[in-house]
Amino acid sequence: MTKESRVSIYFFAPAAIFMLVFLFFPVAFLVRDSFFEIDMIAQGKGTFVGLSNYIEAIRSERFIDTTTNTLIYVVVAVGFELVLGLFFALLLNTAFKGHGIVRTIMLAPLMIAPLVTGLIWRFMLNNQFGIVNKLLYDFNITSSRDAIQWLSDERFALLSTIIADIWLTTPFMMLILLAGLQGISKTLYESADIDGANKIQTFLYVTLPSLFPVMIVAVLIRTVDAARTFDIVWVLTQGGPSNSSEVLSTYMYKTLTRYGQVGESSAMAVIFIILLLVISSYFLTAMFKANKK
Amino acid sequence: MSQPNAGISNENTLGRLFKKKKKTIIGLITTVLALLFISPYIYIVLTSIKPSSDAISPSPTFFPRELSLENYVKMFNQMPIAKYFFNSFITASISTILAVFLGALAAYGLSRFSSKTGNVFLLLTLCVRMVPMISIAIPMYIIINGMGLIDTRVALIVTYTAINVPFAIWLMIGFFNNIPKEFDEAARIDGCNILTAFIKVIIPVSLPGLATAAIFCFMLAWNDFLFALLLTSTNAKTATVGISEFLTAYNLDLGPMTAAAVSFSMPVMVFSILVQRYIVSGMTLGAVKE
């Protein structure tokens, strides 16, 4: 070993040991547990059951429904965040007077805890005291004050959690895209101008392609985060009513704490990690391809 | 972004005037949309200073009809919320210091000295970012339980540090790579060894980077709900768990809940607006820079 690599190891050894004990070891533990039937009371004493936890998880209807809900949640939330974020980023990219202040205003939700976001929306979507239903009624959109039971109607519960997520993280999307927009070289726009491109053409053939790599990174980060959402869903609906807004993380939490099934919840977590790794490697390949061009 | 010169030139004055007007209109629209967008938060703040009965009125108004601190008083009376805030603050602060310290050391080693082990380690660190928190939470619960640390602050400090270290490493590597190697080389010539060069020269130069990493680590720990919910019950309970308890199935204390939500988020909000420069650079780093 060269002297250089030895010095490097000294520097990252403390962090590596810490991560080994409190991150990699738990993940290894998780994989092990997923093959065991574990009795919570007997403190980790388990019997090896092979793949039966996995088979049980995949075959259970509730797991399939929960996975579907998670997918809907991710696709709808991230989709809206991307469109809204891009819209705000384009507006803020215009150098009007006071755009710095407006940007700061827009950044505010970034600092709010997902838990608090859940509380805010739980308060506003409440069907007795909520302001959302009152406004819908005042503007004659709904016929009565409790026409929409946002959190207790199976048709709306998942949508309500998605609304809260969009509100919380559109500013994040906006910020990343704004930084991307400001990184686009001005000469590209000048040459588009010389070529006689109109606004829409410039947007389609200059702005969007230049922004593409940044968009992929932003969508990747948001996809991973939205897929593991817990706080918002827990506070708003706890996955109810009748599992209509259950997502993977709330279901795993319940499987562990309410039903005490360590083996099955571990198996679900492993499936979840594999799914996320597959999705993110797809995004990363797309990004490398885009960067090569 | 530079403002175009607003001075009057002889040609094209009309065109410029038109352009200026268009900008003002876009500015106005953007401002209105932005205010609408954050209105839910403003609404919660305004509700928290309404009398308790107005907070749960069947016909809510956006602005308070009268001001009252009733909700804040109730919040303190209903649960030991001060203790929960203290727990949040202690666990977030200590884990931040640990994570930034460990992360900075590791990032410096990885940024300045190349080694194969280091590269493998870096790749593993990136993979950890993909692991969903809930799946770490399951074995973490078993480990912490096995160590007899359930419901202690140590359990939370250790957990938050572990989650934050990979992030701190990735952020700090970006900063260290931007500091020229000549800096530490000069320090070495002046008689420093590697460690003292790092402490005396690199750390002071990279304070903005360390601050950015610290802000993000603190926010993650301060805002965490899942681990606190899973690993604590009474002694080490943090503010997020406490606040969530205003909403139980039988008791919907919406008024005090708004007060708690505002007390919890307002200091962080004000602080982050003051240091938003670092937050913006931290968030866009890696996503935009090549």
ipTM of predicted assembly, 2 dp: 0.88
Q: pLDDT higher for A181 or A284?
A: A181
pTM of the model: 0.88
Q: What does the block give as tokens for B268?
A: 């962080």
Chain B contact present for A274, CB below 8 A: no
Least confident among A64-68, A69-73, B1-5, B63-67: B1-5
> Alpha carbon of B100 to those of B92, B228, B231, B271, B284: distances in Å?
12, 21, 23, 19, 19
Asked whether residue B238 carries a pLDDT value surpassing 50, the answer given is yes
Res A26: pLDDT: 87
For the segment B18-30, what is each residue's pLDDT rounded down to a tens digit?
777 888 888 899 9
Those residues with Cβ within 8 angstroms of residue B44's Cβ, 6 or more apart along the chain or in another chain: A119, A120, A123, B258, B261, B262
Helices (H), chain B: 13-48, 52-55, 70-78, 81-112, 116-130, 133-146, 153-178, 181-189, 194-197, 203-205, 207-223, 226-231, 239-244, 254-274, 276-284
Chain centroid offset of residue A93 CA: 25
Cα–Cα dist A109/A49, whole Å: 46
CA atoms within 13 A on the CB side of B264: 36
Res A171: pLDDT: 93
Mutate to test the interface with B, among A4, A6, A11, A53 (most CBs of B within 10 A): A11
* Nearest residue of A to residue B103, measured between CA atoms: A15
Q: Which of A2, A7, A167 sits opposite B40 (nearest CB)?
A: A167
Res B165: pLDDT: 93
Q: Give which of A233, A204, A214 is closest to A172, Cα–Cα.
A: A214
What's the mean per-residue pLDDT of chain A?
Answer: 88
Least confident among A106-115, B98-107, B124-133, B160-169: B124-133
pLDDT tier, B250 (very low <50, low <70, confident <90, very high otherwise)? low
Cα–Cα dist A118/A150, whole Å: 13
C-beta atoms of B34 and A88 within 8 A: yes
pLDDT tier, A127 (very low <50, low <70, confident <90, very high otherwise)? confident
Cα–Cα dist B156/B143, whole Å: 12
Those residues with Cβ within 8 angstroms of residue A230's Cβ, 6 or more apart along the chain or in another chain: A114, A247, A249, A250, A253, B133, B134, B225, B226
Res B276: pLDDT: 82
- 8 A C-beta contact, residue B257 and residue A118: no
Cα–Cα dist B280/B290, whole Å: 17
Q: Give which of B177, B261, B169, B178 is closest to B216, Cα–Cα.
A: B169
Asked whether residue B290 carries a pLDDT value surpassing 80, the answer given is no
* Nearest residue of A to residue B269, measured between CA atoms: A111
Question: What radius of gyration, in Å, describes the C-alpha atoms of chain A?
Answer: 24
Q: At CA B141, angle to CA B136 and CA B147, rounded to 5?
A: 125
Res A230: pLDDT: 93
Asked whether residue B213 carries a pLDDT value surpassing 50, the answer given is yes
C-beta atoms of B135 and A273 within 8 A: yes
Asked whether residue A223 carries a pLDDT value surpassing 50, the answer given is yes
Cα–Cα dist A91/A93, whole Å: 5
Least confident among A153-157, A174-178, B71-75, B120-124: B120-124
Q: pLDDT higher for A8 or A171?
A: A171
